[in-house]
Amino acid sequence: MELEPFLLSDLARETGADRQGDDRRIRGASGIEDAREGDITFLLPDHPLSRLASCRASAVILAPDHPDWEGPHLRHRNPRWVFARALARLHGPLPRADGVDPSARIHSTASVAPTAAIGPFAVVGEKAIIDEGVLLEAGVFVGRRVRIGKDSRLDAYAVIRDDCVIGERVWIYSHAVIGSQGFGFEIHQGRADRLWHIGGVLIEDDVEIGAGSHVDRATTGMTVIGAGTKIDNQVMIGHNCRIGMGCCIAAHTGLAGSCVLGNGVVMGGGCGVADHTVIGDGARIAGGSGVHGRVPAGATFAGTPAREHRSWLREMAALSRLPSLLRRKGKAKPERPK
């Protein structure tokens, strides 16, 4: 990947960080152990300055509470975020094709903006609307009556089924499927008959949906992914879920139908969420948790079934002592009969 160098002072202005020492031209970014001349690196607030003893980076991002550092550096309360902005600068704009590839199939009733780019063998269905600056890579499928907002990007082989709405600046990665039929069946006389899902999916602005993830259409109405939410690879969002703004959901997590997540919810990898679960604003769910019922706003839950994190830690500590307690009990002498 060809990187885009920048000045340390430019990164300071963008992030509001305090620059100290000489200005430097930054040509790369690395972890502390791998950094070379021309790179920028960062130190987490709770890590000691001694970790930088043999670091060769040209500049470092530190927290305000770190001790003095002689070399060029930035200070910010969130060094990792500043490092993320450095990576964004180095990455530069995402590569994109121009125009419509001759092999693409676009329905005569579809509307494609002049600045949109359609890659090889992409399909755009009846009455679909593709806005300005949209990129559809090779093999993307866009169904009937789909709308894709400005500057959104669909990587190769992403699928958007009928009647879904994609906001602006949305990034959907390869092999993600938006708007497939939900897992809905009614058992009648020993037979599972499909409960058809005739709703759609609404993905608001600035959402990312990772490779191989699936968002099912609603039974009726809309499954909703709120603005700014980031969904990792291989995540399952069931029918009629409503995900708030600014959530982060890690890989291999599955949400059953009609779950509600508030704004700013963070879920670790491998979580399972039962249907109709409600998770409040700002809640944190540890990886591998099994969640059902209600999680209060701002709470941190862990375990299966998930419960308040400190309670779970106490239970795990007690469980770890169980083998020694059983051994002690086995060695105890039986009481003499009276």
Tens of pLDDT, residues 52-92: 999 999 999 999 999 999 999 999 999 999 999 999 999 87
Both 69 and 166 in a single domain? Answer: no
Low-confidence ranges of the chain (pLDDT < 50): none
pLDDT value of position 338: 63
Domain boundary pick from 91, 109, 126: 91
Both 85 and 165 in a single domain? Answer: no
User: Is 169 part of a structural domain of the chain?
Assistant: yes
Tally of domains within the chain: 2
Global pTM value: 0.86
pLDDT value of position 278: 97
Q: Are 184 and 220 in contact (CB under 8 A)?
A: no
pLDDT value of position 322: 81
Round to whole Å and give the CA distance between 323 and 218: 48
Q: Mind telling me the catalytic residues?
A: 239
User: Is 138 part of a structural domain of the chain?
Assistant: no
Round to whole Å and give the CA distance between 133 and 135: 6
Kindly report the CATH number assigned to the domain that includes residue 217: 2.160.10.10
Q: Which amino acid is at 208?
A: E
pLDDT value of position 334: 62
User: Is 109 part of a structural domain of the chain?
Assistant: no
Domain boundary pick from 49, 68, 91: 91
User: Is 186 part of a structural domain of the chain?
Assistant: yes
Distances (CA, A) of 251 to 93, 118, 152, 236: 26, 29, 22, 9
pLDDT value of position 95: 72
Question: Structure tokens of 284?
Answer: 């944190």
pLDDT value of position 332: 63
User: Is 146 part of a structural domain of the chain?
Assistant: no
Domain that holds residue 26: 6-91
- Cα–Cα nearest to 95, from 137, 157, 38: 137
Kindly report the CATH number assigned to the domain that includes residue 33: 3.40.1390.10
User: Is 37 part of a structural domain of the chain?
Assistant: yes
